[in-house]
Amino acid sequence: MANTYVSRVAIVVVLAMASLCIADTTDGGNGGADADAGRRARAAATVAEILSVHNEARRAVGVAPLTWSAGIASYTKAYARSRRGDCAPRRSPLFYFGENAFVGKGRHWKAMALAAAWVDEGRRWYDYGSNTCAAPDGSSSSSCARYTQVVWRNTTQLGCGRVVCDSGDTLLVCDYFPPGNYGTGRPY
């Protein structure tokens, strides 16, 4: 009887210690579930802000809203991280997507403000009637290409990645599917 009692107590102690070890290793020493929940909440808020900027611009011209694609976002985040060293807003090598990139000076740029810069370009310079861009730099339609991609009527999905570069500046890259800005057609 004493052996049975000792065995049961030993099992309970081992299980209790194992559960403590599992709990300790799952939080990774970085704040545990609360920290993870906080990161997820900030990420969800960023996604909602980026979608809001895009969908407000799309609503203004009468096209359907975009939905967030976790798969596209995963690719875009990896590409943005690969540009961390030079912070260059260059086109990624995967041409299945339409793409916008923007570099904000400094590390305190929110993704929403970076995306809003694309929309602002179009609101100020794009003329739907002539399907042209009157950018002050004289670069014609290429200056409005970020805006026209945001409002491209056939685009349905969006994914973005933001990174603070080694320079301290902020790079935002967004990819769109299906891509827009092809041919001479109007975006909407």
Residue 98 sits in a domain of what CATH number? 3.40.33.10
* Residue 41, H or E segment: helix 32-61
Quote the number of domains for the chain: 1
133 pLDDT higher than 50: yes
pTM (2 decimals)?
0.77
Domain assignment present for residue 7? The answer is no
Using a 10 angstrom Cβ sphere, with 0-12 exposed, 13-18 middle and 19 or more buried, the burial of residue 42 is exposed
For the stretch 31-64, pLDDT in tens is 678 888 998 999 899 999 999 999 999 999 999 9
In this structure, is residue 188 part of a structural domain? no
Q: Give a yes or no: residue 185 inside a domain.
A: no
Separation of alpha carbons 151 and 54, rounded Å = 8
Alpha helix ranges (H) inside 83-144: 111-125
Q: Tens of pLDDT along 14-34? A: 333 333 333 333 444 556 788
From 105, 179, 111, 108, select the one nearest 146 (Cα to Cα).
Answer: 179
Pick the residue with more confidence: 175 or 184?
175
CA distance 78 to 100: 15
Q: Is residue 129 part of a domain?
A: yes
Residue 25 included in any domain: no
Q: pLDDT averaged over the chain?
A: 82
* 94, part of any domain: yes
Task: Decide which of 182 and 92 is more confident.
Answer: 92
Please give the pLDDT value at position 157. Answer: 98
Q: What is the per-residue pLDDT for 182? A: 79
Residue 105 per-residue DSSP state: S
Contact 25, 17 (CB under 8 A): no
Domain contains 75: yes
Instruction: Find the helix packing angle between 111-125 and 32-61, rounded to 10°.
Output: 10
Range of the domain at 162: 64-177
In a domain, 19, yes or no: no
- Which tokens hold the place of 25? 């290793």
Q: With bands split at pLDDT 50, 70 and 90, how would you rate the model's confidence at 136?
A: confident
Average pLDDT for 134-143: 67
Q: Which residue has the higher pLDDT, 40 or 69?
A: 69
> What's the confidence (pLDDT) of residue 64?
98
> Is residue 8 scored above 90 in pLDDT?
no
